[in-house]
Amino acid sequence: MSVNLGIVKGFDRIGEENAFAVLARAQELSNQGQDIINLGIGQPDFPTPPNVVEAAVKALHDGHHGYTPAVGIEPLRDAVANDLAKRHKTPVSSQNVLIVPGGKVTMFAAILMFGEPGAQILYPDPGFPIYRSMIEFTGATPVAVPIRETNGFAFSADETLSLITPATRLIIINSPANPCGGVTPRAEIEALVKGLEQFPNVAIMSDEIYDQMLYDGAEHTSLLNFPQIRDRLILLNGWSKTYAMTGWRLGYSVWPDSLFDAARKLAVNCWSCVNAPAQYAALEALTGPQDCVEQMMTAFAKRRELVVRELNSLPGVSCINPSGAFYAFPNIRDTGWQAKPLAKELLEKAGVATIGGPDFGIHGEGYIRLSYANSLPNIERAIERMRSFLNT
């Protein structure tokens, strides 16, 4: 007799991140002996800086193997607050800082707090796929904020504000952004914040995980800079991208006073605390030398130049210069391909892993995402393979 366990309905609606499926398929093909160039997954290809690794090893030798406070160790919360205050020139209290196991966890917590049937949550499309997935899981209605190439893949304040209704509970902002690499200019953020003053009951989650990954003098404007919304702002950030620490599962959030305790209780109920040696590594990452970040960004800048130039030389492909993160989001409409079949064929036939734009939302049709977290020679080889593929 087959069992019917009646899992709750939310799980019928929960989505996925196709980047992980592409990673698995790329691995499978590579295990079969195929030469695969992976421009799919969004993680720096650099190692975690050695001083950061050493700090974790030392923490274990020093006996930091037990539970820590659920909110994170005090010196790390202080370091996060100081780092944010210094970089964004605005006061941040360590009492509002929560250390979490990965950047994703903050969106999970924030969306759980505001998502329920009848609620609407605004999220960027194309955008990080987990926003929509989690919104759907809660039963809330996802409302896509289109992120347009014609607007440099930045948020439009007017368009975002026009989508707010009395049911809107939370707005998710992401700049610099995945998957398009757009950076929303200060003037647009200011206009957005000004407009949001008319909607005092709407919470804002600002995903700033790529905040140090900027090119050509682009500036990041943190939403922390606006005191008028600080009492409803949730900041998402972490170590994954800036310090090449995706597998450590480390992140942090800044919560307003009124939400902090709810977030803390979620931590107690779900993950208890972030693993202790990883927290000591995170402390070293923030307080130790920062030249690793600079070196990584110098390498990314060169790759970005190459990838954008070469993509623009492919038949039917055009690519605007992304101002942030490490993704190119070329427009492939004139190739005659739909985005997902193109990404699939590029992997299967040309050995190049990319992600189809629709994996980031319906407004991603006509685009594919290339993560240029790979070496210059590999990027060159990948584009040549794409050229041969598109020419046949």
What residue ranges bind ligand PLP (CB under 6 A)?
Answer: 42, 102-104, 128, 174, 178, 207, 209, 238, 240, 246, 251
Q: 171, 203 in Cβ contact below 8 A?
A: yes
Cβ nearer to ligand PLP, comparing 160 with 174: 174
Cβ nearer to ligand PLP, comparing 260 with 326: 326
> Distance between CA atoms of 128 and 180, rounded to whole angstroms?
10
What's the closest the beta carbon of residue 285 comes to ligand PLP, in angstroms?
Answer: 13
CA atoms within 13 A on the CB side of 217: 0
Cβ nearer to ligand PLP, comparing 337 with 372: 372
What's the closest the beta carbon of residue 147 comes to ligand PLP, in angstroms?
Answer: 12
What's the closest the beta carbon of residue 251 comes to ligand PLP, in angstroms?
Answer: 5
Entry field: residues in the chain: 392
What's the closest the beta carbon of residue 33 comes to ligand PLP, in angstroms?
Answer: 29
Cβ nearer to ligand PLP, comparing 120 with 178: 178
Phi-psi region of 216 (alpha: psi -120 to 50; beta: other; left: phi over 0): left
| CB-neighbour burial class of residue 112 (10 A; exposed 0-12, middle 13-18, buried 19+) | middle
- Beta-carbon contacts of residue 314 (< 8 Å; ≥ 6 apart): 330, 335, 383, 386, 387, 390
Cβ nearer to ligand PLP, comparing 140 with 250: 250
What letter would DSSP give residue 47?
A: P
CA atoms within 13 A on the CB side of 343: 31
What's the closest the beta carbon of residue 366 comes to ligand PLP, in angstroms?
Answer: 21
Cβ nearer to ligand PLP, comparing 209 with 283: 209
What's the closest the beta carbon of residue 140 comes to ligand PLP, in angstroms?
Answer: 19
